[in-house]
A and B are shown apart, each in its own frame.
Chain A
Amino acid sequence: MLYHVGELAPPTLRGLLGTITQFGLVVGILAADLVAFPFATESGWRYLFAVTACIAFGQLLMSPFLLESPRWLLGRDPNSLKARYIIKRLRGLRYDHEVETEIGHFVMGAAAQQQESTSQLDVLKEMWANPKTRALLLSSLFLQMAQQFSGINAVFYYSTSFFEGV
């Protein structure tokens, strides 16, 4: 997810966006804990869990508005009319030639990606072979592991149990 944001964010905002993502994440956990305040009782905990089911149900109700990915449709059948309709709606295009241009981009992009696609293992090997990227690879792995070993997840999952023991 962060990868995706990093890919789309302009360089000047990338740091900010990364921080906001993390911030939002803990805000979400806070929300779960706030919902737990009224419901974390012997009679009420089922409502706490029901939130998941309710949201999933709402999502199913709204699913007619969910569009299929035009790229996937075009990958199966380059002449797909459905894909053309979706692109037209999605991009707010008016003319057919605009849609065809867009479809040309999709097809070209897919072709380029097939050419460029290498196996993930090869990429890793390549990164390992180059001393410069090896340091980067190792440090990112180390940072991820250090984050996990810091025990923050134990706090997310078990802080209530910790404080009960105090």
Chain B
Amino acid sequence: MIKLATYISTTPLILYRNDASCCWRFIQYQVPLGGGADYTHLSRQGRAASISALGGTQSMGRFSFREPPKVKGLPKSYSVSADGSPSMLTATQLGRQELYKEVPFAAVFGLQRSVRDMSMAFAMSAAELDVMDQKDLTDEERSNRMSRSSLMILDELEFDANVVTMPLVFAVLIAGLSQFLVGYVLTKFLVFFGISPFFGKESRSSSLIPHFVLALTFRYNTGVMNAPSSVVFPGHSTLAWSLAVSSFAVGGPFGALVGGRMADSRGRRGALLIDTWLFLVGGILQTCAPDMMTIIVARFIIGFASGFSSVVVPVLLGEFACHRLLGADRADIIALSHTFCCIM
């Protein structure tokens, strides 16, 4: 119960992070329990409201109906969702509708399990509540069941929660820097730096809501060759310049290939450090280039490093973020195909 009480103190946070109706429902049941009041009162109130909305009456805690709702084209039965709102859909349809709201999540590999677990927890808890409503249980047993089912949901929510800590912020920043160099996207910041008006005692923020802080996105090395084409070694041939520009793209896929292997053998951090050294060497070589040939080689190295980091950085940050996401094997294919597309 103590654990439960701690959880309930963070209830507003949970409410904020899951605007989906399922969680709201959960809160509806939670609040009276946290206050130590009779929880059945509230749930009955909800049911009474919905029954009267559908033309029914409630007597002695049992439900009887003046007449079943007659709406053409709709099934005769209806269900009452846990927050008391009536629906003409059957319970299965209601569940399916709820699932469709979440389909974008459910369709994504890695989040399927999360959605399934969550809906299972909710369904079980709802079933328990229904049983409790009807059976005559002692107060003690009732509160035991209540806390057991709530804990199950809370465990799920907890499982999903992300915590923003300083070490995390630093790690993401440093890893993100190489994305600046590549020239791809610093969107990784989306994942971690949430602005959430509710911060719990341990500054827990949600895993989903705060993913949307503005991304600072740069594409430095992609764009940097545009302007100086006439001033770098004046008199160079167009062919030499085209080679210098495109060797960046040629290096990419090789880097992506090597990067995936390195991330597995050397560790994500080790691979990222190798990558940074590559950037440094490429950058210095390009800066101190004595002729056009050196620039072409340096651009190739930078392109290689870019492909490398486009594999390593998402993997590293993804693994910081959430254990349900993917490892190197898949990310590496994705980055490879991305790079190939860019070259085409």
Contact = CB atoms under 8 A, between A and B. Distances in A.
Contact of B323 (A40, A46, A106): A106
A151 interface: no
Interface residues of B, number: 104
Given A31-B218, A56-B280, A90-B168, A69 B325 contact: no
Interface string A1-34: 1111111111101101100110111111111110
Contacts of A54: 283
A90 B324 contact: no
B320 interface: yes
Contact of B215 (A3, A6, A21): A21
Contacts of A144: 341, 344
Contacts of B221: 32, 52
B226 A52 contact: no
A56 B113 CA distance: 38
B202 interface: yes
Contacts of A109: 323-324
Interface in B187-212: 187-188, 190-191, 202-203, 208-209, 211-212
Interface string A115-157: 0010010000000000000000000000011001000010011
Interface stretch (B29-37, B41-49, B81-89, B230-238): B230-238
A161 B229 contact: yes
Contacts of B270: 68
B224 to A, nearest CB: 5
Interface of A: 1-11, 13-14, 16-17, 20-21, 23-33, 35-37, 39-42, 44-60, 62-63, 65-73, 89-94, 102, 105-106, 109-110, 112-113, 117, 120, 144-145, 148, 153, 156-161, 164
Interface of B is mostly: helix
A96 B184 CA distance: 38
Contacts of A35: 224
Given A13-B212, A28-B218, A52 B223 contact: no
Interface of B: 102, 104-105, 108-111, 113, 159, 163, 165, 167-168, 170-171, 173-175, 177-181, 183-188, 190-191, 202-203, 208-209, 211-212, 214-232, 234, 241, 245, 263-264, 267-270, 272-273, 276-277, 279-280, 282-284, 286-289, 298, 302, 310, 314-327, 329-331, 333-334, 338, 341-342, 344
A66 B283 contact: no
Contacts of A29: 219, 222-223, 226
A69 B342 CA distance: 28
A58 B174 CA distance: 9
A101 to B, nearest CB: 9
B167 A33 contact: no
A32 B178 contact: no
Contacts, number: 281
A24 B333 CA distance: 24
Contact of A105 (B159, B202, B211, B326): B159
Contacts of A89: 165, 167
A102 B163 CA distance: 12
Q: Which 8 pairs from chain A and chain B are nearest by CB?
A: A24-B217, A53-B283, A36-B227, A28-B218, A32-B223, A29-B223, A52-B283, A28-B219
A90 B224 CA distance: 35
B268 A62 contact: no
A53 B287 contact: yes
Contacts of A52: 181, 220-221, 224, 279, 282-283, 286, 302
A101 B229 CA distance: 56
B110 A7 contact: yes
27 contacts: A7-B108, A8-B208, A8-B322, A9-B212, A20-B214, A20-B217, A21-B185, A21-B217, A24-B186, A24-B218, A31-B223, A49-B287, A53-B280, A56-B181, A60-B280, A66-B170, A67-B167, A67-B320, A69-B267, A89-B165, A89-B167, A90-B163, A112-B113, A113-B326, A144-B341, A156-B222, A160-B229
B226 A1 contact: no
A12 B229 CA distance: 43
